Amino acid sequence: MTDSADNKPSQLLFWGCFIALITTSFGFITRMFLLDDPEIVKLLDLDPAQVGKFKGIQIWPFAISIILFSLIIDKVGYKFSMIFAAACQIIWAVMGIIGLNIASDNPAQGAALLYWGGLILALGNGTVEAFINPVVATMFTKDKTKWLNILHAGWPGGLVIAGIAVIVMGPDTSWQIKLGIIIIPAALYFLMLIKESFPVQERVASGVSYKDMLREFGVFGALIVALLIYLQLDAEFPGNKGILIGLSVAMVAAFGIYTQTFGRGLMGILILIMVPLATTEIGTDGWISGIMAGAVSFDAGWILVYTSVIMMGLRFLAGPIVHALSPLPLLIVSCVLAIAGLAALSGANGVAMIFVAATLYALGKTFFWPTMLGIVSEQTPKGGALTLNAVSGIGMLAVGVLGFPLIGALQANKEISEVSKVDAPGLVENGGVVESATEKKTIYQIIPYSVLSDDVVDDKLATASAETKDAVAAARKGSAPKALMSMTIFPLIMLIAYIGIFMYFKGRGGYKPVELAADGGSSSDD
């Protein structure tokens, strides 16, 4: 692994960071599988909207912790951040186990422990990303995109290991044991890293000031973060809108007064791209088991495991792929494959075609996240840990705040659309489901959608034939995969943006990484 052009990287340090990322995906997939289990949902007395909220709580605090730790990590140190992360992940396991133990006697208290435990897990997972990304980018200053891709093979690697473990354990193994397996990798990376010496971050070593780091991010970045945090906290703590708006405005204003810059234009574009990127990868991964459950006869979790195996393998081989295509053409090709994969999955029938479509989707999503981190690190090195981690934080905020509920809304709308195609007098009239059988809702008052009312549907079908009832049930069951076609809009937006960025760099002589000089200057101070 040693490269004379880099900072004499330690194998133990790199692989400790790798296992730390594996641990985050252990927490992600075991908790997602838990909340996809109908018996657990019934035990905790949760409705579908509450399930989405339980899923979201392990996402958006991740973003808050990664951004906050990025602001202070050079002060508190990477080792402190690592200890905090491992402690949070272990505490979550304990809370989850206790919550499940008491849920049968006290569903509300058990659900509360699982809910707030998800927040603690998210804080730990975000802190993992806050320290591993700048550590690896600093270790490999001459080949950041390659090594960030290899590092991020740990994410799908953890999905594969934990996903297979949970599926193989089967329904006869308690969820307490399944949730508890996260303690193994958490303890392992803690022991690997506790005595390691962490490198000085590239920005700090080059003498770039803290203020210059914030200026690289700019007021625009602060505005996006404040908006996403406001939307989430407004949903979590209703009735405090005035206070939350005031705090958000104050945060952005203070950032603007201190930095006195709107931020790098390229950085602003990369921030916006992370919204559809995170929704395409993390959002789909979080929902895929539930979406495909009605389309397959086997455990739909195997689809996520399968796509994760492909991601893991390709990220390990990122070096020659990145060198052959360079970052932007790689992302353009990835978008095309992701669009094709989601479209194919939406209409795939039979095990073979489903896995062919899943292969396309996996090939598409593989390089999105780490290659974006590589571009940010290469183009905004003055931003240090902040710009590198903030894009991850914004992506996770976006998928937790908007992505997960938006994907749920797309499924709800598609369910109504598919039922409207069934010949069901009383329920379907004039080519659509009768208005009384639907309930109109919104996400943050900006994303409208409708859901079917089960009680009204049952009432409308009370005198219908068995064939009609079966047709409606089949339409509802088979609607979720078809919503994946609507989700192609996310990689399509990314495709247009990446082509635009590619043309921008082409007009400037081609894509080149920005290198920091010893005096804090850079090879491209524009």
Which has the higher per-residue pLDDT, 413 or 500?
Answer: 500
Confidence of residue 19 (pLDDT cuts 50, 70, 90): very high
Confidence of residue 523 (pLDDT cuts 50, 70, 90): low
Average pLDDT on 374-387 reads: 85
The kind and range of the H/E element at 253 are: helix 241-259
Confidence of residue 30 (pLDDT cuts 50, 70, 90): very high
Taking 50 as the threshold, does the pLDDT of residue 2 lie above it? Answer: no
Average pLDDT on 392-407 reads: 80
Helix residue ranges per DSSP H, 36-106:
38-43, 48-56, 60-76, 78-103
Confidence of residue 294 (pLDDT cuts 50, 70, 90): low
Average pLDDT on 150-155 reads: 90
How many Cβ atoms from other residues are within 10 Å of residue 79's Cβ? Answer: 15
Which has the higher per-residue pLDDT, 60 or 189?
Answer: 189
Confidence of residue 24 (pLDDT cuts 50, 70, 90): very high
Taking 90 as the threshold, does the pLDDT of residue 23 lie above it? Answer: yes
In order, the DSSP letters of 225-250 are HHHHHHHHHHHHSTT-HHHHHHHHHH
Q: Nearest Cα to 512, choosing from 327, 385, 265, 382?
A: 327
Predicted pLDDT at 3: 44
The radius of gyration of the chain from alpha carbons, rounded to an integer in Å, stands at 23
How many Cβ atoms from other residues are within 10 Å of residue 301's Cβ? Answer: 21
Least confidently predicted of 164-168, 322-326, 376-380, 498-502: 322-326
Confidence of residue 323 (pLDDT cuts 50, 70, 90): confident
The encoded tokens of residue 159 equal 């999905």
Predicted pLDDT at 521: 55
Average pLDDT on 492-511 reads: 93
Residue 438, strand partner residues: 452
Predicted pLDDT at 87: 97
Which has the higher per-residue pLDDT, 384 or 88?
Answer: 88
Taking 50 as the threshold, does the pLDDT of residue 160 lie above it? Answer: yes
Predicted pLDDT at 178: 95
Predicted pLDDT at 116: 94
Confidence of residue 498 (pLDDT cuts 50, 70, 90): very high
Could you tell me the fold of the domain covering 11-411+484-506?
Growth Hormone; Chain: A; (1.20.1250)
The kind and range of the H/E element at 432 are: strand 432-433
> CA of 35: how far to CAs of 25, 30, 32, 170, 175, in Å?
15, 9, 5, 15, 11
Phi and psi at 46, nearest 5°, equal -110, 140
* Range from 181-195, 381-395, 409-423, 474-488 that averages highest in pLDDT: 181-195
Tens of pLDDT, residue by residue over 215-246, are: 888 899 889 988 888 887 887 777 788 898 99
Average pLDDT on 269-282 reads: 90
Mean pLDDT of the chain, nearest integer? 85
For 356-395, the three-class secondary structure string (H helix, E strand, C coil) is HHHHHHHHHHCCHHHHHHHHHHHHCHHHHHHHHHHHHHHH
Please, which residues have CB within 8 angstroms of residue 87's CB and are 6 or more apart in sequence?
A: 124
Predicted pLDDT at 526: 45
Tens of pLDDT, residue by residue over 41-66, are: 889 888 766 787 788 788 778 888 88
Query: In percent, how much of the chain has pLDDT > 90?
Result: 30
Domain ranges (residues) in the chain: 11-411+484-506, 412-483
Taking 70 as the threshold, does the pLDDT of residue 524 lie above it? Answer: no
Distance CA 114, CA 131 (A): 26
Least confidently predicted of 32-41, 97-106, 395-404, 421-430: 395-404
Predicted pLDDT at 418: 86
Query: In percent, how much of the chain has pLDDT > 70?
Result: 93
The kind and range of the H/E element at 469 are: helix 466-477
At residue 516, the 3 state secondary structure works out as: strand
Predicted pLDDT at 4: 41
Taking 90 as the threshold, does the pLDDT of residue 69 lie above it? Answer: no
Distance CA 315, CA 170 (A): 29
Distance CA 3, CA 362 (A): 30
Q: Are 117 and 99 in contact (CB under 8 A)?
A: yes
Distance CA 84, CA 127 (A): 8
> CA of 499: how far to CAs of 84, 163, 330, 334, in Å?
40, 35, 11, 12
Predicted pLDDT at 7: 57
How far is CA 340 from its chain centroid?
Answer: 21
User: What's the distance, Cα to Cα, between the start and end of the chain in Å?
Assistant: 34
Tens of pLDDT, residue by residue over 77-110, are: 889 999 999 999 999 999 999 999 999 889 999 9
Helix residue ranges per DSSP H, 104-209:
107-139, 144-151, 154-169, 175-180, 183-193, 202-205
Taking 70 as the threshold, does the pLDDT of residue 33 lie above it? Answer: yes
Distance CA 50, CA 65 (A): 23
Predicted pLDDT at 525: 47
